[in-house]
Structure 1
Amino acid sequence: MRPWRFVVWFGTISLLADVVYEGARSVTGPLLSSLGASALVVGVVTGAGEAASLGLRLVSGRLADRSGRFWEWSIAGYALTVASVPPLGAVGVLWAACALVIAERVGKAVRSPAKDTLLSHATAAVGRGRGFGVHEALDQIGALVGPLLVAGMLVLTGDAYGPTLAVLAVPGAAVLGLLLRLRARVPEPAGYEHGTAGPGGAAAGARLPPAFWAYAGFTALTTAGFAGFGLLSFHLVRHGLLATAWVPVLYASAMAVDAVAALATGWAYDRLGPRVLVVLPLLTAAVPALAFTERLGPAVAGSLVWGAALGVQESTLRATVADLVGPGRRATAYGVFAAALGVASLAGGALTGALYGYSVPLLIAVVAAVQLLALVLLAVTRRLR
C-alpha cells in the first residue's frame, strides 16, 4: 500500500472512532445526571477520564517501544474504546456508567502512542506536516458527525440513551474491521521510513534527545496559556453575546477551522520546518484578547482563532515529535508529549479561569507573557536540533 493511502485509511479509522467516542462524550454530562450524578461527580469522573487518557500514555508509550507490538497496542486501545461506549446508555447504574466513561478514555491512552508511531512512519514518506494534517482533518470530520448523529437519535427516540448509544456500535465495528484489514495489508509500516532514524537514534534504550525536552517545554508553555472552549462559551452566554442554542454551532465552526488550520500548517511545516510553529503562541495570545471582549464579532473571532490554534496543536505539534525522535523511542516520546500536554492543560484551565474572574486585562497580559517564553523555548529547540 502506498504511504498516502495508509495515511488516509488510518485517518478514516480515526474518523469512525471519533464518531463513537465524541458522540458519547457530547452527552456524558446529561447521561450521568439522569442516573443521579451530581455536578461534582460529573466533574470528577470526566476529569479522571482525561487524566487517565493523557497520564497513562507515559506507561503505554514505553511498553509499546519495548515490545515493538505497535499494531497490537493500537488494536487493543481501539477495542476498549468501542466496547465501552454502546453499553453506556443501557447499564442504568451510576457506578457502572462512570466506569465505562473512564474505560473509554483509558482505551485512548492505550492506543495513542503506538498509533502515532505507526502513522509517523508513513508521514516520513509523504511529509510529516501534510500527513498529520490530513489525519487531523479526517479526525475532525468524525468529531462533527458523532455529536450530530447522537443529537438526531435523541430526537428520534425521545431522549432514550440506550438505543442512541447502541447505534454507535456500527461505526465501532467498522473501526476494528478496518484496523485488522490495514494491519494485514501493511504489517510493518516502519518500512515506509526506509530504516532512517531521527536525532534520538533507533535504539529502544536510547535517551530522548535534548531538543525533544526543550520542545516539550515549548509545548507545555503554549498550552498553559490556552483558554478552553468552556470558558469562552461561558463568557459568550454570561454577557448575553450568544444564545445557548448557538454555542454548539460556534463549536462546530471552530472544529471546521481546526481542520483547515491543520492542513495549512502541515503544508507549511513541510516547506518551512519548525519555524512555522511560531504561529501557535501568536494564535494562543490572540484568543483571550479577542474572545473576552464584550462585542459579538471579536468574541466569535476569538473562538475561531481558538479552533485554529487547536488544529496546530493536534497535527503539526505531533509531526515535530516524529522529526525529533528516532523510531526506537518514538512511542515513549509521544507518551511524554501527551503527559506534558495534560499537565499544561490543567494548569492553563486553572490559570485562565482564575484570572478571568479577577481581571481580563491581566489575563491577556499574563497569557502574552507566557507565550513570549514559549517562543524562547522554540528558538532553543531549533538550536539543539
Structure 2
Amino acid sequence: MLAAIRRLPRTVWLLGLISLVNDSASDMIYPLVPLYLTSVLMAGPKALGLIEGIAEAMASLLKLAAGVLADRSRKTKSWVVAGYAIAGIARPMIAFASSWFGVLVCRFADRIGKGLRSAPRDAMLMHSVAPDQRGLAFGLHRAMDNAGAVVGPLAAAALLALGMPLRHVLFAAIVPAVIVLLLALAIREPQVERSPNPPRFSWNLREFPPRFRRYLIVLALFMLGNSSNMFLLLRAKELGLGEAQVPMIWALVSLVAALLSTPLSGLSDRFDRRKLIAGGWTIYAALYMAFGLMPAMTWLLWPMFAAYGVFLAATEGAEKALVADMVPRAQAGTAFGWYNLVVGLALLPASLLFGWLWSEASPPIAFAFGSACALAAALLLRFWVGAGEPAPNA
C-alpha cells in the first residue's frame, strides 16, 4: 500500500496538505464553540442545535450550485480558492461575537466557504486519479484532514493551559488560514474532457443512475440521526470531562481517524465499499447508544471517542469513493454537490431534533434516536442499494 500511496499524483497530495493546515485552524475553534456558547454567551443545547443546523443546511445549497457550475465550466480551482479564503476569514471572527447570534453569523460564513469548495474539490480529486485509486485518494485526503484536526485541538489546549483567554485562542486561527490560501493558489487545474452535450441539471436526479439516487436516500436516513459532533463534546463535558480535556479528547478522535483513514479507504478499492460503510455506520449506532446510557465515568470516554475515530476512518473516504463509482465523470461536481446537499440539509432537522430531545426528554433518548437511524441506514445500504452494476466511468 505504501507504494500505491507514493504513486498518487501531486494534486492529491497538495489538496491533502491544504486540508491538514485548514483543519488545524478549524479544529482550534470547533471544540471550543460549545464551551464559548455555554460559559461565555450562556446559550444551551437548543441554541447549539439551531446554530449548527442552519449553518450547515444553508451552506449545503452552495455545495450543489458550485458543483453544477464546476461541471459546466470544467473549472474547479477558482471555487476551491474562494471557499478556503472566505472560511479562513470568518472563523477567527467568532472571537468578537457578543451573542449566540454573532456566532451563528460567523459559522454561517465559514460554512459558505466550505460550500463553495467542497464539491469542486472532490471532483478535482476524482479527476486526478484512476478508478482503482479512488478509495486510496479520498482516504489519504481524509487522513491529512484529520491529522490537521489533531494539531488544532492540541494547539488550543496548550494555549488554554498557558492561560491565554478563550477569545484570543479563537482569533489565533488566522495564521493557518493565510497559509491555506497560499497553498490553494498553487493548485493546478486538472484536465477534464468536455462533453459536447452535457446533461441538463434537474431536481429529480433523472440524469443519474438509479442506485445513486437510492444511495442518497439511505445517506439522508443516516444523517437524520447524525447530529452535530458538538453534542458529543457537550455530553462529555456533562459527564465530567474538564474544559482543558475537551480539545484533547477530540484530538484523539482525529488521530485515530488520521491513522486509519488511508488503509481502510484503500481497502475499499479491493472490496465492496458498501460493506465497509455499513460496518462503520453500525459502529456509530453502538457508540451512540453507549453515549446515551453510560454513567459519569470520565475514563471510559477516552476509548469511546477513539472508537468514534474508527467510525470516521471507515466511512468518510469510502462514502465519497462510492459516489465516484456510481456517476459519470462529466457529472462529478454535480454528484458531489448532491452528496453534500443531502448531508448538509439533513443536519438541520437532525441537530434541531437532537437538541429538542436532549432538552425536553433526556440525553439517552436523543442518542437512542441517532442509533436507530444509523442501524436502519446500514441495513438498507447493504441490502437495498444495488451492487454489481457497471460503473459509468470505470
Could you say which TM-score interval applies, normalised by the shorter chain? 0.7 to 0.9
What amino acid sits opposite 1:256 in the alignment? Answer: L
Please tell me the root mean square deviation across aligned C-alpha atoms, in Å. 3.8
The offset of 1:169, in angstroms, is: 3.3
More deviation, 212-221/304-313: 304-313
The offset of 1:360, in angstroms, is: 4.5
Rounded Cα–Cα distance in structure 2 between residues aligned with 1:14 and 1:253: 18
Distance of aligned partners of 1:243 and 1:30 in 2 relative to their CA distance in 1, 3 Å threshold:
closer
CA contact (8 A) 1:355 1:362 kept: yes
Partner of 2:25: 20
- Count of matched residue pairs: 373
What amino acid sits opposite 1:17 in the alignment? Answer: N
Rounded Cα–Cα distance in structure 2 between residues aligned with 1:95 and 1:353: 17
CA contact (8 A) 1:225 1:285 kept: no
Rounded Cα–Cα distance in structure 2 between residues aligned with 1:170 and 1:366: 36
Rounded Cα–Cα distance in structure 1 between residues aligned with 2:356 and 2:138: 34
Local SS of the residue matching 2:294? coil
Equivalences for 1:93-242 in 2 at 5 Å? 99-124=105-130, 127-153=133-159, 158-159=164-165, 161=167, 164-165=169-170, 167-183=172-188, 187-190=189-192, 203-205=198-200, 207-226=207-226, 229-239=229-239, 242=241
Q: Which has the higher helix share?
A: 1
Q: TM-score, structure 2 length as denominator?
A: 0.79
Q: TM-score, structure 1 length as denominator?
A: 0.80
What amino acid sits opposite 2:321 in the alignment? Answer: A
CA contact (8 A) 1:35 1:94 kept: no
> Identity of paired residues, percent?
28
Rounded Cα–Cα distance in structure 2 between residues aligned with 1:289 and 1:34: 27
More deviation, 1-10/331-340: 1-10
Local SS of the residue matching 2:256? helix
Equivalences for 1:320-331 in 2 at 5 Å? 320-331=322-333
Partner of 1:319: 321
Partner of 1:381: 385
The offset of 1:361, in angstroms, is: 8.4
Local SS of the residue matching 2:313? helix
2:67 aligned with 1:61, yes or no? yes
Partner of 2:266: 267
CA contact (8 A) 2:280 2:314 kept: yes
* Structure 1: 5+ residue stretches without partners: none
| 1:74-121 Cα shifts (integer Å, max 9, x gaps) | 111112112334555468898776544321211110111101110112
Question: Highest relative contact order (Cα 8 Å, sep 6+), 1 or 2?
Answer: 2
Local SS of the residue matching 1:381? coil
Distance of aligned partners of 1:2 and 1:272 in 2 relative to their CA distance in 1, 3 Å threshold:
closer
CA contact (8 A) 1:291 1:298 kept: no
2:371 aligned with 1:367, yes or no? yes
* Structure 2: 5+ residue stretches without partners: 1-5, 202-206, 390-394
